[in-house]
Structure 1
Amino acid sequence: MKKPVSGNRAKWPGFHGPNQGYVEELYEMFLQDPDSVDADIREYFEQNSELETSFSNESNQVISTGKTAGSPAKIAAVLRYADYIRSYGHLSANIYPLQFGSKDPQLEDYEKWGLAEADLTDMPVELICPNAPSSIKNGKEAFQFLKKVYSDTIAYEFEHVNEMAEKEWLRQKVESGELIPKVENERKTRLYERLTEVENFEKYLHRTFVGQKRFSIEGLDSMVPLLDEVISGAVNNGVETINIGMAHRGRLNILAHVLGKPYEMIFAEFQHAPNKELVPSEGSIGINFGWTGDVKYHLGLDRKIKSDNTANARLTLANNPSHLEFAGAVLRALRALRRMTGMNRVTRNMTQ
């Protein structure tokens, strides 16, 4: 049977989140006793009597789906609970491997909102999460889904966005479930192996070159598989040149695992030599030739890569002439590239 076209939010234009729940409570008080609310609020409800008709029509539509929404007080509590998850769910995100901290009681315990399990189950999914996947069958499952969306290993926070059209677009994207990754076991294995390479590289540098200045990628290891994914998608969609700019932190790891710079070349640079052949002999404290300090953290690299359909692309990590500024290195490369290839090909170039 036909489901409601819009959720309960359309009933009170201009009110959203907790404010909407508050208006719901005032309206219920007004229906029971008009004198129980302030005169200006009473006048507002009296002048907008069509809201009651809208509520009745919407309730009939909800009932036509086979679900009974319950009393206005229960509906208001459910809406406040759902909005609380959207607003504060990220604070309970599952991002601490050692399980520090505790879950927010108001997020986990629906009884604190004056609700019973039956109240959640009986609520229409469309009232709680209008964009939920079709696999969500009742209100209780809708709340479980919202908690997964806003409090899992990836969480979202955008209730502070003032532009309603933007917020609704974000909510539709997030709550539709399309952003929840579906990763096969084989791909999980590849990701694990990739992260192991990234971590072991940093451990080796730390253990082998003790005391040397090291701008590690630790804490941001996932940037490497993230770049793998972005670059692969770009090349397979016809991008011909990719320009990357970044500061020191994690640069060596990106050079090694994304740009393909050989380990031995990087290790030689830790010996203050530009290549393996010029590394000082064992026990020597002299330098045959080359550079000192953090020069290796300023260097970039070019690499040619192929897409799944064997199309060639050029990947460039720009040299970083400054400790603090790296955007200019990318912008100059893109400007030069646009001049060389023509403006009509700019859509095939990408910067990161």
Structure 2
Amino acid sequence: MDFDRDFGVNQVFVEDQYERWRNNPAAVSPEWQQYFARLHGLPTPATFQASAWSQPAPTPAPGGDGNGHLAIEFPPETGFELLSIPAPAQERLQAEILQEKVGELINAYRIRGHLFANLDPLGLLQPPPPELEIEHFGLSDQELDKPFATGDFAAGKGEMTLREILAYLKRTYCRTIGVEYMHGEDPAIKRWLQERMEAAQNTPTLSREQKLRILARLTDAETLETFLHRKYIGKKRFSLEGAESLIPLLDWLVEEFGRQGGEEIVLGMAHRGRLNVLVNVLGKGLRELFAEFEDTEIETMMGRGDVKYHLGYSGDRTLPDGRSMHLSLAFNPSHLEIVDPVVEGRVRAKQDRTLNWEGAPAPRDPERRKVLPVLIHGDAAFAGQGIVAEVLNLANLEGYATGGTIHVIINNQVGFTTNPEDARSTPYATDIGRVLRAPVFHVNGEDPEAVVWAVQLAVDYRQQFRQDVLIDLYSYRKYGHNEGDEPAFTQPRMYEVIRQK
């Protein structure tokens, strides 16, 4: 039998035969017994009893009834003897089978570990079924202290006990950051991500100065919101409270993109947290912001202008190396996500058109690594607005590509007054992004160090592969849709938890 020829189209059949052979060698044909034994370096039987197909035809016996029902004398029951394997070879085979199961366990954590991560700062998400328990893979507590080869598991060791492997997997894939990346088709990309995440156990190595900077940015975000809430009671501002880690996220993104040669970032976002981003990321002056709350502009009194949480802004920011980076936030109406194609178009224009030293048009950023689009979405809008899918569909087309967008989803786990299970048909708000095979970093917004690690990986990925990447920032909305709403009417359980924080 030409097995090599048949495997391409009969993979499922071959795998079934292999599983049968592992459980009982006599359950498959002699040819398969010999083949699988050779694969494992085991002795192959020299002879087998002939199978029923090679026996002579049965001899009719008298006593037939003339209706095709003959009294047939069948030869003795045929079959094949159980493959006899020496004890040392049996032990080696058993070790190989266990090693294979450990490999399946590692791969399962890579694929499904995000479902078991601690993502929800409110603790309201229902835990998934225990499909990553070792018993699910045919392993038991008896194997916990046995050593196994780690294979391509980037743990820095060639061999670890099952107990160590489990602890390492849980730290990497099931803490406050969960990663979807195994749905991609490019093995090089998956390997690139595995090496970075597993080697670091999805944990950043931060200096004391970096930790203090993260704390300072969180403090800036919270201080602004607290002041506005006390000074301008009841005025709409669409507070960032509950998702303050967006500010250190963007702060880290700007500096890391600059460190990797970036020159300009164009942002687009809706109203949630916009005022905080304007002040603490783009550098808008507090005097200007407070004037907008006081309604001192003459144009506003004459019916012109716009509300403060629609306005855009631009400015330059000095990077740690002394270079300057230009930041701009696109103006945005109340129509959610309508700004997405505007940002992409602006970035593409900035990448394609500038003036060379002779004053002639020349591409500024032909590799699309110097100008970055960043889109900040709400969870309900990202899943529900059709324009999101339209813009994603343009991402890799030659005439529209911008070298990859970093998408940040502020996941409040509620859309206006609608719970997620009533707003979308998918487990995650980010699932529409899977059409691009884009990696998704789900992260608990109350772990700011995990947040900056997620954005570090996102920037590295975008600059390396020039493709879209998503950060799903699990958070909550401290107040209602705006500061004049009472959210406990529609989400009583959620806001009972929030008000205890």
The normalised TM-score by structure 1 is 0.70
- Residue 307 (structure 1) shift: 2.4
Separation in 1 of the partners of 2:264 and 2:168?
40
Bigger Cα displacement from structure 2, 138-147 vs 175-184: 175-184
The aligned residue for residue 418 of structure 2 is: none
The aligned residue for residue 201 of structure 1 is: 224
Conservation of the 8 A alpha-carbon contact between 1:301 and 1:316: yes
Structure 2 unpaired stretches of 5+? 1-6, 43-91, 356-360, 375-501
Conservation of the 8 A alpha-carbon contact between 1:301 and 1:318: yes
1:327 to 336, 340, 354: 340
SS at match of 2:205: coil
Distance 1:247 1:29, change over 3 A: same
Separation in 1 of the partners of 2:207 and 2:249?
17
Query: What is the 5 A alignment of 1:45-194?
Result: 45=32, 49=35, 52-56=37-41, 70-97=94-121, 105-107=130-132, 110=134, 113-127=137-151, 130-134=153-157, 137-161=160-184, 166-177=189-200, 179-194=202-217
Query: What is the 5 A alignment of 1:303-342?
Result: 303-321=315-333, 323-324=335-336, 325-334=338-347, 335=349, 338-341=352-355, 342=361
More helix by share: 1
1:254 partner letter = V
Conservation of the 8 A alpha-carbon contact between 1:123 and 1:138: yes
Separation in 1 of the partners of 2:261 and 2:143?
52
The aligned residue for residue 284 of structure 1 is: none
Separation in 2 of the partners of 1:159 and 1:118?
30
Separation in 2 of the partners of 1:20 and 1:161?
26
SS at match of 2:179: coil
1:350 partner letter = L
- Residue 232 (structure 1) shift: 1.0
- Residue 302 (structure 1) shift: 1.7
- Residue 246 (structure 1) shift: 1.9
Question: Does 2:357 align with 1:345?
Answer: no
Separation in 2 of the partners of 1:134 and 1:289?
69
Separation in 1 of the partners of 2:363 and 2:190?
34
Separation in 1 of the partners of 2:9 and 2:180?
21
Question: CA offsets per residue over residues 54-93 of structure 1, 9 Å max, x none?
Answer: 4349xxxxxxxxxx89535533543443344333322221
1:223 to 219, 231, 246: 246
Distance 1:171 1:20, change over 3 A: farther
SS at match of 2:265: strand
Distance 1:13 1:306, change over 3 A: farther
Separation in 1 of the partners of 2:196 and 2:14?
22
Separation in 1 of the partners of 2:190 and 2:128?
26
Separation in 2 of the partners of 1:304 and 1:256?
13
Conservation of the 8 A alpha-carbon contact between 1:69 and 1:123: no
2:180 partner letter = E
1:259 to 282, 285, 305: 282
Separation in 2 of the partners of 1:214 and 1:20?
62
Separation in 2 of the partners of 1:69 and 1:183?
45
Pairwise CA RMSD of aligned residues?
4.0
Separation in 1 of the partners of 2:371 and 2:201?
27
Conservation of the 8 A alpha-carbon contact between 1:213 and 1:294: no
Separation in 2 of the partners of 1:167 and 1:288?
52
SS at match of 2:150: helix
1:55 partner letter = H
Conservation of the 8 A alpha-carbon contact between 2:221 and 2:276: yes
SS at match of 1:265: helix
Question: Does 2:46 align with 1:27?
Answer: no
SS at match of 2:252: helix
Larger Rg: 2
Question: CA offsets per residue over residues 269-320 of structure 1, 9 Å max, x none?
Answer: 122234xxx8xxxxxxxx9947689621221112122223322232212222
- Residue 151 (structure 1) shift: 0.3
More strand by share: 2
Distance 1:223 1:20, change over 3 A: farther
1:300 partner letter = G
Distance 1:165 1:309, change over 3 A: closer
Distance 1:320 1:131, change over 3 A: same
Conservation of the 8 A alpha-carbon contact between 1:125 and 1:132: no
Distance 1:157 1:328, change over 3 A: closer
Separation in 1 of the partners of 2:277 and 2:301?
26
Question: CA offsets per residue over residues 202-226 of structure 1, 9 Å max, x none?
Answer: 2333333333333222343222212
The normalised TM-score by structure 2 is 0.52
Distance 1:338 1:181, change over 3 A: same
Conservation of the 8 A alpha-carbon contact between 1:242 and 1:349: yes
- Residue 124 (structure 1) shift: 1.9
SS at match of 1:238: coil
Question: CA offsets per residue over residues 151-207 of structure 1, 9 Å max, x none?
Answer: 011112334445655545544443333753112333223212211221232233333
